[in-house]
Amino acid sequence: MFSEYKFNKFNMKKNSRIKIVFSLLLLLMMLSSCSQHEKKSVKEKNLPNILFIPVDDLRTELGVYGNTIIKTPNIDNLAAQGVTFNRTYCQQAVCNPSRASLLTGLRPDSIQVWDLRTDFRDNVPDVVTLPQYFKKNGYTTIGLGKTFHNNDPDTVSWSVVPQHIAGFPFDPDAVYVTKENTDIQQMKIQKMKDAGISRIDQLGHWYVKANATEIADVDDDAYYDGAQTTLAIEILQRLKKEKKPFFLSVGYYRPHLPFNAPRKYWDLYDRNEIPLADNQFVPEGSPAYLVHGEAELRGYSDSHDLPLPSEKPWDENRQREIKHAYYASISYTDAQIGRLLNELKRLGLDSNTIIVLWGDHGWKLGEHNGWCKQTNYEIDTRVPFIISGAGVKAKGKHSDALTELVDIYPTLCDMANLGIPGYLQGSSMAPLLEKPGLEWKSAAFSQFLLGRYGRTKTIESERMGYAIRTDRYRYIEWYYWKKDDKERGDFILAELFDHETDPEENINLANKPEYKEIVKMLSEKLNKGWRYSKPRPSI
């Protein structure tokens, strides 16, 4: 039984700074017996395994999406055994709302999660999440790394309650290994202590940001993503012996800031050959504050001079360094995914495992003179999404169907023949895995709450933007946000972009007279599309 699960320490290379121990794993195991329904489900169905691979802040910067410079051979090989979705959109370009929406199968307005702080359980306490649903149907569910948001692991979703890997915090964003960066951290910690900020003692050094990038002569396991992959490989080996269907999520942190990676991944690139964004300006006809997304990077010690989107573009050398670091971080994560997939194949588990790789939102690398996520534009809402492995017939194909992250929950239920809960707000994409060219959704929807992040906090009122993406257009409506009532107030402005003539979304057409009828049609479609998600469905 899985209740007998044990994890051993690894014999790491001498220059590795950590030993991997899955803390408290032996104390918190799955229930000693399954319900009769669960036993029957496992016995009577040949249930496929699920390998779930969330990647933080990953935009469609992959070889399989047409980037000829990026080095992502393992993700590209994964795509060759599955379907790559060219037009998948997140429901909000912020980590917590995006992940909460995907994992509950409900849109942000239904779970009322629009920021980094809100725990979806506060608003929908009885909702059954995607891994929790598989757990209820006889699966062993295990979550490593970042699946739900960092601070909200949602322990009820997992058969085994994950704790952090020894030597790393549970939220390992700001893990540094070079003396330069650890010295910066210690200096900042001392300043906070001198100022009487005692909270730093509880948060630890990982709370403190040093530089935005790091090149280090270390093994992969010196950073969290490598270490958790080593652990995930041992977990796969144990699951192979268990002979029970599993839902294993291995959530990768890179390429989230800081862009830290072993030197060998930096060495894959010539910095001067990496192209910079060619639209480093605010969309014509849109206010600069809607671009947003610069505050996160500015918080790092070497990036305080990052300009606002309304100002002149950043120094070209800094742009190249950041983009080089982002590419190195992606290649580092790609290598870890390769290790994971190789072990899956070596164990003979690949033939009955559905593999799902997704990014939680995009990320601006100078586009619209922004450097982060957190907008309603294509560059931030479009995400990489691949379904591969068991049950996928159209191997190596691409689909241009408009799809959404909220569709993942019903899709996996469909593929595993578990039945799709009726309250889910997405739709199964399973038919596209056989016929990727099927006529599909007419629109995808996203939203963003402006005013809770960075310098936009100074805006008098928070503002909510609702976006609809059709085959040709992106249309956005902005409203004042009533904080107390948690609903939209008066209309502010609209944005319209024609992807047939303007794929980079550089010209807002919403106020041009010749587009009046298109704006009216899209506005009606947008408001009709969002209306069904409120009030919150009964669960």
The SS3 assignment for 303 reads coil
Annotated catalytic residue within 34, 149, 292, 398 = 149
**Is the separation of the CB atoms in 443 and 523 below 8 Å?**
no
- Give the type of residue at 473: Y
Based on its alpha-carbon atoms, the radius of gyration of the chain, rounded to whole angstroms, reads: 23
Which residues touch 457 (CB under 8 Å, ≥6 apart)? 451
Bridge partners of residue 353, in order along the sequence: 49
Closest-CA residue to 521 (of 466, 470, 480, 478): 470
| 95 assigned to active site | yes
CA 249 to mean position of chain CA atoms: 13
| Sequence-ordered list of residues with C-beta below 8 angstroms from that of 129, at least 6 positions apart, any chain | 103, 104, 154, 157
Cα 402 to chain centroid distance, Å, stands at: 18
State the Cα–Cα distance between residues 211 and 264, nearest whole angstrom.
19
3-state secondary structure 448-481: EEECCCHHHHHCCCCEEEEEEECCCEEEEEEEEE
CA–CA separation, 411 and 394 (whole Å): 16
Q: Are 401 and 429 in contact (CB under 8 A)?
A: yes
The Cα 335–Cα 121 span in angstroms is: 34
CA distance 104 to 129: 5
Contact 216, 17 (CB under 8 A): no
Length of the chain: 539
Q: What residue type is assigned to position 234 of the chain?
A: E
Closest to 282 in 3D by CA, of 379, 382, 384, 360? 379
Look at residues 444, 436, 426, 443 and name the one whose alpha carbon lies nearest to residue 400.
436
Phi, psi of 224 (to 5 degrees): -60, -45
Q: Is 324 a catalytic residue?
A: no
Tokens of 116: 């980094």
Amino acid code (one letter) for 417: N
For 360, the enclosing helix (H) or strand (E) is: none
**19 is written with which tokens?**
């030993």
Which of the following is catalytic: 34, 90, 95, 413? Answer: 95
Pinpoint the alpha helices (H) of 112-251: 120-123, 130-136, 179-194, 199-203, 224-242
Output the CA torsion sign for 214, 220, 225, 228.
negative
For residue 73, the tally of other CB atoms under 10 A from its CB is 12
Q: How many CA atoms does the CB half-sphere of 213 hold within 13 Å?
A: 18
Q: Which two tokens stand for residue 98?
A: 């995006």
Tokens 């609809």 belong to which residue?
468
| Residues tagged active-site | 95, 149
